[in-house]
Chain A
Amino acid sequence: MTNKEKYNQVFMESFSVSSDQLNENLVYQSVPQWDSIGHMGMVAALEEAFDIMMETDDIIDFGSYNKGVELLAKYNVVI
């Protein structure tokens, strides 16, 4: 699986969204399942999928599907 596929899968599973919802409009609290609990679940799933440990600022800054791509680059994960 490519990084992009892994990344997408985490989003689809964490927030119960379909692949056509994976775009710049997918932001924190834009769908019911992306609440604080969904957010923590997503962070944990990304950490597991890419074997990284995210910093506080990045967890809080991770406000959208697109922003996440940018943030993961800091951990040498290229989506």
Chain B
Amino acid sequence: MSIFFNDLGKHQNSIVFTTIDEQISYNDLVFEIEKLSENLLARKLAFIICENNIESVLGYLTFLRIGIVPLLVSKSIDRELLNDLITNYKPNYIWANKDYTLSNDWKITHSNRTFQLQESISPFNHEFHPSLALLLMTSGSTGSPVLVRLSYQNLIQNTISISDSLGISKEDKPITTLPMNYTFGLSIINSHLLNGCEIILTELSILSKDFWDLFKSRKPTTFGGVPYTYQMLKRIGFEKMDLPFLKKLTQAGGKLDHNMSKYFAELCLLKGIKFFVMYGQTEATARMSCLPAEDAVKKAGSIGIPIPNGSFYLVDDNLDVINEADKEGELYYKGPNVSMGYAYNVNDLILGDENNGVLATGDLAKKDNEGYYYIVGRKKRFLKIFGNRISLDEIENITLKNGYSCVCTGVDDKLYVFTENEQDVLELKNLISAKISIHHSAIIVKHISKIPRNDSGKILYSELQVK
């Protein structure tokens, strides 16, 4: 079985990374990994403050190869939250842009391009479970972040399944459009490294001219996007763009509404692009299902069928398995990519596999009589905002901690916040926007004279008027 982070050397002189400034080969990458590995110790904890650049991916691969457990952190993380994570998890290494200067308790031991490695001068002795490979933050986690514990097998297996689902080969050349600390973005990098592909790494946004200049000069064949990416693509006239080298598009990170799904399926068919809709969660490493491109038009709105080695089933409120078609239930997934569980603090890093390969997704789904699955709603109280999963209860807790009182509800890409205190409206909007790093236009704060509750004081969310 091929292991994407160990078998890099076999792709030799093929280009692995292209950026605006340079190109390096798989051989160069292995050489740089060996250099960065010098004097590093296995079974330590590292934080990577990720950017879509060579340095971040180099650090990630180096750590995986030598058995250091990395936590991938967004570069736009709230600084206070980052400090809390450092205090809680006591990393031995921090691999980040040279702008991240830490206290005197840290010494710089390696550097590469814009990044440097800082080592704690009083290293903490973590106890890790031997299978633990990588830690990711659940998307949109706030306040007290929850980490997902992924094993080496989770990563290796999911990468192979994704590669098979999408039929990735050496000729595929992705360009990054999602952050690498985001599970979908990371899975694109992993699955293309497995196949010896060239990956164009950029921090540029699809709304910048420089992105499209890079795009036209480097001719990527594929990229991925969350629903909002596709809305932007539609708005900026993707339909009229002449990009004959583009062969595959993938969509995940939330449900693309039926009309948009159909629009892109048909447009891609016309343009000779394969359009894949996928479904996943960080808790399942990255992906759980894929709608094959040839079914994109016919089955628009579906999340497809499970990836190889995975399976879905639906259960009703009594936890009985539903066998008939078109009946709704909670979606469960079973497969080798289901994470080991969560970590709430540093002591949890020694825990073994708590999920045993089974994940209750929290999504409500149904399947049609041909075995294609459709997401129809949510069991748990969370929203997907611009691809990030946001827990509504967690937002209520954060606002409470900051001295406000509100209740939250909403629909995807729109969070509705209700407060009885009219003077708090603007402050709540700013606070929530900052804490969850989501643009304020997605947050609607409304004043309400009385929050609807039942006799026992339980909030009646269904009575809150959205829109």
Contact = CB atoms under 8 A, between A and B. Distances in A.
B442 A61 contact: no
B205 A41 contact: no
A41 B439 contact: yes
B323 interface: no
Given A37-B228, A37-B386, A39-B207, A60 B439 contact: no
Interface string B217-255: 000000000001001100111001100000000000000
Contacts of A39: 205, 207
Contact of B208 (A28, A32, A33, A38): A28
Contacts of A35: 205, 439
A55 B241 CA distance: 12
Nearest to A42: B441
Given A16-B430, A60-B236, A37 B209 contact: no
Contacts of B386: 37
A45 B209 CA distance: 21
Contact of B207 (A16, A55, A59): A59
A33 B439 contact: yes
B205 A59 contact: no
Interface residues of B, number: 23
Contact of B236 (A14, A29, A56): A56
For chain A, give the interface size range: 20 to 34
B413 to A, nearest CB: 9
B31 interface: no
A55 to B, nearest CB: 8
Interface in A22-79: 28-29, 32-33, 35-41, 43, 55-56, 59-61, 63
Nearest to A60: B209
Interface string B183-209: 000000000000000000000011111
A60 B440 contact: no
B441 A63 contact: no
B212 interface: yes
B179 to A, nearest CB: 12
Interface string A1-32: 00000000000001010000000000011001
A60 B235 contact: no
Nearest to B203: A29
Given A16-B430, A41-B439, A56-B236, A63 B205 contact: no
A40 B207 contact: yes
Contacts of B441: 14, 37-38, 41
Interface of B: 76, 205-209, 212, 228, 231-232, 235-237, 240-241, 386, 430, 433, 437, 439-442
24 contacts: A28-B205, A28-B207, A32-B76, A32-B437, A33-B433, A33-B439, A33-B440, A35-B439, A36-B206, A36-B228, A36-B232, A37-B228, A37-B441, A40-B231, A40-B232, A41-B439, A43-B235, A56-B240, A56-B241, A60-B207, A60-B236, A61-B209, A63-B208, A63-B209
4 cross-chain pairs, A with B, having the tightest CB-CB distances, nearest first: A56-B237, A37-B439, A41-B441, A36-B205
